[in-house]
Structure 1
């Protein structure tokens, strides 16, 4: 129902499970998608300007960016090294900052940036201190960027996914999947397309008065009482 024909969208981390779903949904909506596939395309902290400029040059315009590239390692906080902490923060927070800064100079009024955050930005899990902290900071970066880029007509939001299905997750983590299904009011895992749909909406004119917002896409699991 959303038509993005002629719009150009840059999706980082498009080679991953969620990223490929996001890219596909933009393509389904008629957008021209420039896919940054991850590590093989370079460190976004230092290559952001090049990646954004190449996306613009490919089609002569850039209308939206989705900062999806990220990592989610597991490491208990007492054992975590500064290097492990910094690596996650650099990838999940510093890179989106760099991409957003580079893109803002090329996006038109009405352009948008969407960060892929996580429900762990407000509901951390054991072993994910660096990940949860980086996603919480990413949500706040989007709000700050919305404040500063808003006068130029550029909107910045976040999408916070819950547990998203991927090949093998049912057999690799059966107890976690079972806990999720029992906790989520909609009783299922999310799909990459669910996240893609949210991103397409936020990049469309239907969201033209939405900025600085964190759109939670989790099947309702964060509505579950914790006591």
Structure 2
């Protein structure tokens, strides 16, 4: 199911964590459209994950869904090993699993903080540790963490989320330094506001302010993030590592004063 507008990833296997969610599913679809065999990870939503697998297979691609609780280190390793065993190796890992609760800092507990970090950041650390030897065995590969523009711009009610995404950006840079000699490239993609069904009804003021400020005059789509991840996993990005690719329609270019 190769899309001529995308780099050709035929013959490669990609694991996308959090693919039961909106952005993760969009990333998985674009990897499949580029010709990759895709492992679709989910934690809770088996129905959505299986529907995504069916959609990819019906379009002529290959996909496999795997359930795992990535707050547990052993589950991260099992997921990565299952992905590699499926087609005989692993070429790309996208760490997209995450949560985004809204809580005032004054009401946030240490348990709330740990839950966000375990889900958003520690899971990426554990999956990266598990994947690195497998990627190295293939002569190298790509690891991409899905961060956020909130990793560099603070937002009220998101202290734990912002901190977890900032940590992902620096973790990718550190991992790029240490894994580069093994041919492994590590980057982050930082999305802006991504549209979802019902968002304009749930947050009309926020959507209005965003679309009135963003230079490209629209909300993001999951596929926009998927295209960035496919690019970073492709041969077109073989000298790109330790970079945070911001995919936000240009909103970060707006002055804040």
Give 1:1-227 correspondences, 5 Å limit: 1-39=6-44, 41-44=67-70, 45-46=72-73, 47-107=75-135, 108-227=138-257
Moved over 6 A (4+): none
By how many angstroms is 1:37 displaced?
Answer: 1.3
Shift of 1:43: 1.9
TM-score by length of 1: 0.98
TM-fit CA distance, 1:42: 2.6
Q: Is the 8 A contact 1:110 1:208 kept in 2?
A: no
Contact in 2 for aligned 1:116/1:159 (Cα 8 Å)? yes
- Say whether the 8 Å CA contact 2:19–2:27 is kept in structure 1: yes
Number of residues of Structure 1 aligned to a counterpart in Structure 2: 227
Q: Which structure ranks higher in relative contact order (CA pairs < 8 Å, sequence separation ≥ 6)?
A: 1
In the alignment, which residue of structure 1 is the partner of 2:50? none
Query: Which of 6-15 and 38-47 deviates more?
Result: 38-47
Superposed CA RMSD? 0.8
Cα displacement (A) at 1:183:
1.3
Cα distance in 2 between the residues matched to 1:120 and 1:171: 22
Deviation at 1:49, TM superposition (A): 0.8
For 2:140 and 2:44, locate their aligned partners in 1 and report how far apart those are by CA, in whole Å.
30
Taking the aligned partners of 1:54 and 1:10, their CA distance within structure 2 comes to: 10
Partner SS state of residue 106, structure 1: helix
Q: Give yes or no for contact 1:14–1:38 (8 Å, CA) kept in 2.
A: no
Query: In the aligned structure 2, how far is the partner of 1:183 from the partner of 1:37?
Result: 34
